[in-house]
Structure 1
Amino acid sequence: MKGYGGESDTEVLPVAIASTPGGTSWLAWVGTDEKVHLGQLDCEDQLVGTPVTYDGFDLQDVQADSKGGVLLITRKGDCGTGPLCGGESSPCNTMHMIRFDTTGQQVWDQQVTNLTDSRKGYSDGARFVWWYQHHGRLAYDGTNYAAYFGVAITVKNGSCVDIHEGDRMQVVNATTGNLVSGKGFEVGCSHAWTSRIVYDPAKKDFVTVCATDNDCRIAQPNPYRTVAASTCDGTLFGGDLVLADTGYWTAWSQGGTAKLSHFTTGAADKTVQPGASTQHPHLVTYGTDRMLLSWGSGSSTQAQILNRSTGAAIGSPLTLAVKDHNYTAFKAYEDGSVAYPAEGSTTSSIKVARVMPMS
């Protein structure tokens, strides 16, 4: 597995996991062969069958449904000639949603950036994936998959082009693989990082948050709405976004201290500090009325169960015998458990940490 030692948003995401309706999992990882591998796990989190290999040098996320699932992966693209007005911005890569069936085989491939044979990365209006702040996440509404990710923005400036940075959300029909008209946005936050998305069945819509240096805050994009005010001192990071009993909880950090903010359509109505010292908190729904916050602590991971209505701690912190990664996500399962994929005892092995349901 490649990338577990690299912890920045500019580096490869090594591994991601997805829960299926039947309680099994799909596990995706980036190999040292510069390919994305996809394998099935049984209910004991053991690999079954032969993994499928996909072209792609970077992994963003994997989500699953009863008919298979979707990978979000990055592939090599072409910058073209430009010219740039100054500086460097390569590479110019493409982001793809790959639909796979219950055997892991590809059904369709939809690019969610906009490069073509005639529109290269350095063409005016291009939206591509570069080295900077490029990670993304997937969400599913039962019919469509949405991808929300960091994107490079090419803008003509006289006889040359400038490259800016923001984020982009695209929605694709799970059956046809076609982009859904009227959904998503070209650019949301700018400059942005830690793009997070969740589907809200009550609103019947996808909800997104970002960390941004536009007023230095955790915000909802398109249009901007401040969730939590902060400062741009290099220590502002978003964590994860989950459904609350009503509204949403988002984990984030400032100054190495984790925070949890509850909001509905704008500014947080409640922010709590759960006592976690980290720049990269992870948050996942856990059962029907709880959530689990986790963070790295040396060679292990600490986790705290929280009330999903109030954000209050439930019980004492847990210690999980896996190494944390800044940008890898826990995933929730229908039985009430949650799972996290991590590097195993060697770089050629993967270990799944699972917190079982709480009675």
Structure 2
Amino acid sequence: MKLPSAVTGYGAEGDTDKLPMAIAARPDGGSWLAWLGTNGKVYLGHLGCDDKLTGTPTGFTGIDLQDVQADKDGGVLLLTRKGDCGDTPLCGGTSSPCNTTHLIRFDTSGKLVWERQVTNLTSSRAGYDDGARFTWWYQHHGRLATDGKTFAAYFGVAITVRNGSCSDIHEGDRMQVVSAGGALVSGHKDAFEVGCSHAWTSRIVWDPRTGHYVTVCATDNNCRIARPNPYRTVAAGTCDGTLFGGDLVLAKSSGYWTAWSQGGKTRLEHFTSAKSDKTVSTGAATSHPHLVTYGTGRMLLTWQSGSAIAAQAYDSGTGKTAGAKFTIAAKDHNYTAFKAYPDGSVAYPAAGSSGSSVTIARVLPLS
């Protein structure tokens, strides 16, 4: 499918690189497709049920795209904008840029309703000032979730700490909840200023059964897949440069499944409060697995396989395989997410044949 503007980030798949695209399921069966343009804009387009672009996309100021989430009134984007580091000296090294991350609320026509910064830079607090929480080049990706009334943004963040006459910059993650009207929800039970540190692959899901937003990270704090704020180990890993989190989904009856990889081998872990109570060795040889809810009582694990994507469905209660492994004719990206749809299908925005095209990979429900 041809897009009206080029996409930034094709071919770059590192955890510090820009994310090219994200997709979200609309309640009517269509989609919102967001992509990062080459001109300082994040674009949002409406896809019909045939996964084709309809109407004219909306452009929002943004230098990096994180995620998109839909609801009956439109949806929200998570994106990054240029910020200011200020003039406080660093104690050593460099850490620029000092950017800001924003939640952008749009209506059913894709037009702006409100926007809210979820980092904390202001006209009087620059990135190198003590207490700043900003977005930099390092480990900055994020994800969105909603309970139908509020929106939660969970993302990597830079942490500024004054050290005498200069500042040190650390890295962790941050979760902020925003109301339907665009205000930060003060004191929300699941939000935190900083959770894991150092952290990467921030993942979040809303659990209507418990009334909580649930988050997991990969962290070099004891080298593990963990729940943040406070730390609780889900699965023990090793800090050898091959520890990566995948995605997080609801289990069939209670608890959650998360995919993760160590040494290029993917596991599925089931947990309820923290420590995994069931491990599934999947046989998927990848550092970057994707996991998504797939119809009723199932989940779909996908991973890069040559120039295509391999996929295997699992029962989200028992963790047993459901059906045979199959191949999706689309290009994988380390940090792009599959999204679940009301009809039980899942969709994935993959790179197209050119820098201004996209392939929507659709997996229909398993019978």
TM-score (norm 2): 0.97
Q: Residue 220 of structure 1 is aligned with which of 218, 223, 227?
A: 227
Tell me, what secondary structure is at the counterpart of 1:120?
coil
1:107 aligned to 2:88?
Answer: no
AA matched with 2:322: I
2:195 match:
188
Q: How far apart are 1:280 and its partner, in Å?
A: 0.2
Cα separation, 2, equivalents of 1:82 and 1:4: 35
Runs of 4+ in 1 over 3 A off after TM superposition: none
Shift of 1:317: 1.1
Aligned to 2:305: 297
- The aligned counterpart of 2:218 is 211
1:64 aligns to 2:70 (yes or no) = yes
Matching residue's letter, 2:327? T
The match for 1:29 is 35
Residue 346 of structure 1: CA displacement?
A: 1.2
In 2, the alpha carbon distance for the partners of 1:353 and 1:39 equals 16
**Structure 1 contact 143–173 (Cα < 8 Å) conserved:** yes
Residues 105-155 of structure 1, C-alpha deviation per residue, up to 9 Å, x if partnerless? Answer: 000000000000110000000000000000000000010000000000000
> 1:274 is paired with a residue of what secondary structure?
strand
Residues 247-268 of structure 1, C-alpha deviation per residue, up to 9 Å, x if partnerless? 0000000000011000000100
Cα pair 1:291 1:308 within 8 Å, conserved = yes
Is 2:339 the counterpart of 1:334? Answer: no
Please point out which of 182, 191, 201 is paired with 1:177.
Answer: 182
In structure 2, distance between residues paired with 1:31 and 1:74: 13
What's the TM-score once normalised by structure 1's chain length? Answer: 0.99
Q: Distance in 1 between matches of 2:48 and 2:240?
A: 44
Listed as ranges, the gaps of 5+ residues in structure 2 are: 1-6
> Do the aligned partners of 1:274 and 1:313 also contact (CA within 8 Å) in 2?
no
User: Structure 2 residue aligned with 1:253, among 261, 280, 301?
Assistant: 261
AA paired with 2:55?
G
Question: Aligned partners of 2:258 and 2:88: how far apart in 1?
Answer: 39
Q: Distance in 1 between matches of 2:39 and 2:107?
A: 24
Q: Secondary structure of the residue that 1:232 maps to in structure 2?
A: coil
Shift of 1:331: 0.3
After superposition, residues 230-269 of structure 1 pair within 5 angstroms as 230-245=237-252, 246-269=254-277
Is 1:76 equivalent to 2:82 in the alignment? yes
Find the counterpart in structure 1 of residue 3 from structure 2. none
- Per the TM alignment, residue 272 of structure 1 is displaced from its structure 2 partner at its CA by 0.8
Q: Calculate the aligned-residue CA RMSD, in Å.
A: 0.6
The Cα of 1:34 is off from its aligned counterpart by 2.7
Q: Whole-Å Cα distance in 2 between the matches of residues 12 and 40 of structure 1?
A: 22
- Once residues 4 and 192 of structure 1 are traced to their aligned partners in structure 2, the CA distance between those partners, rounded to angstroms, is 24
1:98 aligns with 2:101: no
**SS of corresponding position for 1:134:** coil
**In the TM superposition, what whole-angstrom CA distance separates every residue of 1:152-179 from its partner, at most 9, and x where no partner exists?**
00000001000000000000012x1001
Structure 1 runs not aligned, ≥5 long: none
